[in-house]
Chain A
Amino acid sequence: MAAEETHHVAKTFMDHLPVLQVVIPLFAAPIIVFIGKRSLAWPIAFAASAAAFVISCILLIQVLDGGFISYHVGGWAPPLGIEYRIDAANALVLALISGIGTVVLPYAYESVKAEIPKKNHTLFYACFMLCFTGLLGMVATGDAFNVFVFLEISSLSTYVLVAQGANHNKRALTAAYDYLIMGTIGATFFIIGLAMLYMATGTLNMADLADRIADEGTNRTIRAAFAFIVVGMGLKVAIYPLHHWLPNAYTFAPSAVSVFLAATATKAAIYVLLRFMFSVFNPSFVFEEWTLYIVFIPFSLLAMFAASFVAVFQTNIKRMLAYSSIAQIGYMLLGIAMLNATGLSATLVHLVNHGVTKAALFMGVGAMMLYSGSAFFNNLNGLGRKMPLTGAAMVASGLSLIGVPGTAGFISKWVLVQAAFENGWWIIAIAIMLSSLLAVIYVWRMFEVLYLTAPDPQSTAKEAPLAMLVPMWVLAIACIWFGFDTELTLGSARVAADGLLAGSAGMAH
């Protein structure tokens, strides 16, 4: 560093954005605990997430031309130091995560009041901030081991957040425990993969890894590393046969947590999977040599049909939405397996669209649970009529989940099917459509319960408080908005997909 000292140029605020994005919420968590005042916890958390959201938007705008921003944490140039590397792919996911976080917090204000004992509020918001930080950190970083560290921050806080549902139903505890076991196995698989990669290349920086794998070709160690990383992250993503932790975790978590997790946690993991598959390992290596077609396509099809089918038979809306999430993850994986720019942009755009849609739906259910006490269909009878604004928001987002034209979900489906046709996969295209029909069935069941059944005469339900309605409607309007104006979502997804498909060349310094 001695050489650099003489011509050190002072960094400005704008230069620090990539790291500030993560550090601001990271700072917020201990501040909340340190101050320890219940009344200040929420404002601090909200301010931090709003700041992160603004920063992520600025970053996204900066990288939309296809370039990238590299930030050297600690002043050490990669591959020695840890690098933050923002390109269109992770800027998009960062914007999604921070956006959802910012929208969820006002909602959480009311819902946490109702669901979590007062004495735990301060710690709850601190934990929420840590989860937020972890997700942002694992997406922003360009260092493979740093992914693991931030993955664990988000995972550990998630387990705790899920367990907070125990005040309501004790099964939240076992759900959190199962998630902890599965999550830890996943994370350990991930570091086994990293160990093998490190053994074969001697580096941990993603760009450097990509270069060295591209230069030296693959061997059995690298292939095994790939398998372990995919399975490890697959556990976090809830790829179909590895999804068992997800339904219980989403069902029994407090409403605000379900909203946040459903919209962001699996999405961040999918991003990491994409980053490794396309940027670190060469796409041609990943797919031709590994014939992932044979692995990814069957499992994603299985997810699309089996999980949707299971969702149809649920009596609890939250669990139904959880299974629907597993099915939707199938669509995203299918987009990856298409291995063309359109398919990859379908994955990325669906990642955003589905995040927004699912968050809105979980918010609606959470608002209704304030009065119904549970998310069982029978307890929600006719609530759509008693809570017209909540119900309308759920209709809008439910339509987006089906993929009705004019909604965000339609755009994802369109692009995905287009990608299938570009590859000449007629059967897959029809399969996508058929599986989305299952979504029609389960979403429509929800609508019927909300609108066409007689409400419980003793129900005291009234419209949800404003603090819940506004976030819900922001997301519901986003569901519609992204169905018409795709400049932001699909536009960035296309840039990101091109960057990812460029493979290691896209990571070059």
Chain B
Amino acid sequence: METSTALFLTMLIPTVAMAGNMAFKDRENLRDGFTFICALLTFACVLCILCAVGNGTMEEIALFEVVSGLTIAFHVEPLGLMFAIIGSGLWILTHLYGIGYMRGNNEDHHARFFACFSIAIAAVMGIAFASNMFTLFVFYEILTLSTYPLVAHKGTKDAIIGARIYLGILIGTSIALLLTGVIWTFVAAGTLDFVQGGILEGKIAPSLVPILLALYAFGIGKAALMPFHRWLPAAMVAPTPVSALLHAVAVVKAGVFSILKVGIYIFGIDFLAQTGASEWLMWLAAYSIIAASVVAMTKDNLKARLAYSTVSQLSYITLGMALATSMGALGGGMHIAMHAMGKITLFMCAGSIYVAYHKTEISQMQGLGRIMPITFIAFLVGALSIIGLPPLGGSWPKFLLMVGAADAGHQIIIAVLMLSSLLNVAYLLPIVGRGFYRPVTDSKLPKGVAEAPLLCWLPPAITAFGCLILFLYAGAIQDFLAPIVGL
């Protein structure tokens, strides 16, 4: 198969899955099976591209020109390929989990749910392979729009309000700030292509660079940089598979991925380092890391706590870019993968607990670990990975980020990262502790082991195992990503 064909298929197959969901609206098994096959095929296509291209780059394929100079075009480069692998791979697991969750929880509108889900994946693929900022922006907005019905899925008052905040912030920032930044870039540089080393050098007055960077950093609302992070906790009203998709795979990762892309291919790491334009962003990201962790500690609702944890973790990646060093950017890139694996585990566990016993608050989870051991062990592994303890994947990017911070000469950042790890311990581990060491207080809970349905506990178990594997292959990922910063 031609690589370009495979590339288009990665976007086409999820679209077909969407159509299939609409067509087989009322035939549950056929519909879910069909989508599952589509998910597998998409992953296979991405792997095909991986085999064909490796960590090199592939020539740009222009689909068509919208306005002269603005094309919808795709290419393959390591960072995007990695993102595509994560997105399509985790789609398979999230889909399986979604089937279990939706059926186990008796939710309505399955077809609409999975259809929107598929479109979101198609948009993620588009973002991953976009070869210019315009294409990326188009798919970025498609992703926002396709996830809106997912957030509002329940149709309750809370869901509608949550969805409003979600959409309001994401569309608002992307149109008011990001689009302005993109057009400014287009007018200044005359192109929007992602080019190694950036396109802006010498095209724009150094004093304006921080402003343009701000338009991007805040405009990419999906990166949840404070103070535009409110949509993330608001979107918690969504069913948990959506939260998993939103907060671990598709949406937030699309945000930080875009930030990295902008930093590396639009501004260029060197240009940022020369002008020092990203220094303010670095401090803001650092603040975001600490502040969100502190807020997370105050949350009793498990999903809300995880959401703030995500806000904090995302800022690691923004920080990596803002350090404007190769190691920092590399660490940021790698953190996309590591955090995805860890966080999706945590969310799926939270969903399992909800499906099995309808518990949402941490204080209600006394002794639950003894009833659902697999879920809680998976949760523990995911939490340790997020904290960054070896031998789990999450430890490497933190290390790289610290190296990057040292390169940039910002020792305080190293301290911030260490403090953040401590805070992670403080808000994640007590959950596991409660589960295993406190006595069961709720008399309605069964005695002995009674896990959630198979499709609910198996996927998190797999991803938890994935965290372990990633630790071993971190070197490979680092080598794979090295070309993006010219190493």
Question: CB–CB under 8 A between A and B in the complex?
Answer: yes
The tally of CB-CB contacts under 8 A between chains A and B is 74
Chain B residues whose CB sits within 8 angstroms of the CB of A485 once the complex forms: 64, 66
Given the known interface contacts A411-B66, A417-B179, A433-B180, the answer about A399 and B167 at a Cβ–Cβ threshold of 8 Å is no
Q: Counting CB contacts under 8 A, is A430 at the interface? A: yes
B175 engages A406 (CB within 8 Å): no
Chain A residues whose CB sits within 8 angstroms of the CB of B141 once the complex forms: 404-406
A437 engages B176 (CB within 8 Å): yes
Chain B residues whose CB sits within 8 angstroms of the CB of A436 once the complex forms: 175-176
Chain B residues whose CB sits within 8 angstroms of the CB of A421 once the complex forms: 183-184, 187-188
Chain A residues whose CB sits within 8 angstroms of the CB of B142 once the complex forms: 405-406
Given the known interface contacts A422-B187, A433-B175, the answer about A444 and B167 at a Cβ–Cβ threshold of 8 Å is yes
A434 engages B66 (CB within 8 Å): no
Q: Counting CB contacts under 8 A, is A57 at the interface? A: no
CB-CB contacts of A158-174 with B at 8 A, as 1s and 0s?
A: 00000000000000000
Nearest Cβ distance between residue B140 and chain A, in whole angstroms? 8
Q: Counting CB contacts under 8 A, is A452 at the interface? A: yes
Nearest Cβ distance between residue A446 and chain B, in whole angstroms? 13
Closest to B156 in A: A452
A414 engages B180 (CB within 8 Å): no
Which residues 177-194 in A have Cβ within 8 Å of B in the complex? none
Q: Counting CB contacts under 8 A, is A214 at the interface? A: no
Closest to A417 in B: B183
Q: Counting CB contacts under 8 A, is B172 at the interface? A: yes
Which residues 167-215 in B have Cβ within 8 Å of A in the complex? 167-168, 171-172, 175-177, 179-180, 183-184, 186-188
CB-CB contacts of A413-448 with B at 8 A, as 1s and 0s?
A: 111011001100010011001101100110010001
* A459 and B160 alpha carbons, distance in the complex (Å): 23
CB-CB contacts of B112-133 with A at 8 A, as 1s and 0s?
A: 0000000000000000000000
A404 engages B66 (CB within 8 Å): no
* A404 and B188 alpha carbons, distance in the complex (Å): 23
Chain A residues whose CB sits within 8 angstroms of the CB of B138 once the complex forms: 405-406
The residue from A413, A444, A451, A490 contacting B164, defined by CB atoms under 8 A apart: A444
Given the known interface contacts A406-B138, A411-B66, the answer about A434 and B167 at a Cβ–Cβ threshold of 8 Å is no
Chain A residues whose CB sits within 8 angstroms of the CB of B149 once the complex forms: 451
B171 engages A440 (CB within 8 Å): yes
Q: Counting CB contacts under 8 A, is B390 at the interface? A: no
Nearest Cβ distance between residue B165 and chain A, in whole angstroms? 12
Nearest Cβ distance between residue A418 and chain B, in whole angstroms? 5
Nearest Cβ distance between residue A397 and chain B, in whole angstroms? 14
CB-CB contacts of B43-78 with A at 8 A, as 1s and 0s?
A: 000000000000000000000101100101000000
Chain A residues whose CB sits within 8 angstroms of the CB of B72 once the complex forms: 484
Q: Counting CB contacts under 8 A, is B155 at the interface? A: yes
**Interface size classification for chain A:** 20 to 34
* A81 and B145 alpha carbons, distance in the complex (Å): 56
Nearest Cβ distance between residue A71 and chain B, in whole angstroms? 33
B67 engages A490 (CB within 8 Å): yes
CB-CB contacts of A465-509 with B at 8 A, as 1s and 0s?
A: 000000000000000000111100010000000000000000000
Given the known interface contacts A405-B141, A406-B138, A486-B66, the answer about A437 and B183 at a Cβ–Cβ threshold of 8 Å is no
* A461 and B476 alpha carbons, distance in the complex (Å): 59
Q: Counting CB contacts under 8 A, is A403 at the interface? A: yes
Chain B residues whose CB sits within 8 angstroms of the CB of A444 once the complex forms: 164, 167
Closest to B134 in A: A405
* A451 and B70 alpha carbons, distance in the complex (Å): 34
> Residues of B within 8 Å of A, CB-based: how many?
29
Q: Which of A415, A422, A444, A451 has the most CB of B within 10 A?
A: A444
Q: Counting CB contacts under 8 A, is B152 at the interface? A: yes
A440 engages B172 (CB within 8 Å): yes
The residue from A402, A414, A486 contacting B183, defined by CB atoms under 8 A apart: A414
B160 engages A440 (CB within 8 Å): no
Nearest Cβ distance between residue B435 and chain A, in whole angstroms? 36
A433 engages B67 (CB within 8 Å): no
* A418 and B180 alpha carbons, distance in the complex (Å): 9
Chain A residues whose CB sits within 8 angstroms of the CB of B152 once the complex forms: 452
* A484 and B187 alpha carbons, distance in the complex (Å): 20
Chain A residues whose CB sits within 8 angstroms of the CB of B66 once the complex forms: 411, 483-486
* A429 and B66 alpha carbons, distance in the complex (Å): 21
* A302 and B138 alpha carbons, distance in the complex (Å): 29
Q: Which of B66, B142, B152 has the most CB of A within 10 A?
A: B66
* A402 and B145 alpha carbons, distance in the complex (Å): 12
Q: Which of B138, B168, B175 has the most CB of A within 10 A?
A: B175
B186 engages A433 (CB within 8 Å): no
Chain B residues whose CB sits within 8 angstroms of the CB of A434 once the complex forms: 176
B67 engages A429 (CB within 8 Å): no
Chain B residues whose CB sits within 8 angstroms of the CB of A441 once the complex forms: 168
Chain A residues whose CB sits within 8 angstroms of the CB of B179 once the complex forms: 413-414, 417, 433
* A426 and B214 alpha carbons, distance in the complex (Å): 14
Closest to A448 in B: B160
Given the known interface contacts A429-B183, A484-B64, the answer about A452 and B176 at a Cβ–Cβ threshold of 8 Å is no
The residue from B70, B160, B175 contacting A403, defined by CB atoms under 8 A apart: B175
Chain B residues whose CB sits within 8 angstroms of the CB of A483 once the complex forms: 66
* A441 and B164 alpha carbons, distance in the complex (Å): 9
Nearest Cβ distance between residue B327 and chain A, in whole angstroms? 34
The residue from B67, B155, B164, B175 contacting A437, defined by CB atoms under 8 A apart: B175
Closest to B171 in A: A440
A440 engages B184 (CB within 8 Å): no
* A418 and B186 alpha carbons, distance in the complex (Å): 8
Given the known interface contacts A404-B141, A440-B172, the answer about A452 and B155 at a Cβ–Cβ threshold of 8 Å is yes
* A414 and B141 alpha carbons, distance in the complex (Å): 15
B187 engages A430 (CB within 8 Å): no
Nearest Cβ distance between residue B462 and chain A, in whole angstroms? 35
Chain A residues whose CB sits within 8 angstroms of the CB of B164 once the complex forms: 444, 448
Given the known interface contacts A405-B138, A430-B180, the answer about A414 and B171 at a Cβ–Cβ threshold of 8 Å is no
Nearest Cβ distance between residue B10 and chain A, in whole angstroms? 18
Closest to B67 in A: A486
The residue from A415, A417, A440 contacting B180, defined by CB atoms under 8 A apart: A417
* A11 and B164 alpha carbons, distance in the complex (Å): 62
Nearest Cβ distance between residue B312 and chain A, in whole angstroms? 28
Q: Counting CB contacts under 8 A, is B137 at the interface? A: yes
Nearest Cβ distance between residue A133 and chain B, in whole angstroms? 34
Closest to B155 in A: A452
Nearest Cβ distance between residue B349 and chain A, in whole angstroms? 30
Which residues of B line the A interface, CB within 8 A?
64, 66-67, 70, 72, 137-138, 141-142, 145, 149, 152, 155, 160, 164, 167-168, 171-172, 175-177, 179-180, 183-184, 186-188
Jot down 7 A-B pairs with beta carbons below 8 A, ordered by A: A402-B171, A411-B67, A414-B179, A440-B167, A448-B164, A483-B66, A485-B66
A404-B145, A413-B179 given; 18 more Cβ-contact pairs under 8 Å: A399-B145, A404-B171, A405-B137, A406-B138, A411-B66, A411-B67, A414-B70, A414-B183, A417-B180, A421-B188, A422-B187, A429-B183, A433-B175, A440-B167, A440-B172, A452-B152, A484-B66, A485-B64
User: Sorted from nearest, which 3 A-B pairs have the closest CB atoms?
Assistant: A421-B187, A405-B138, A433-B176
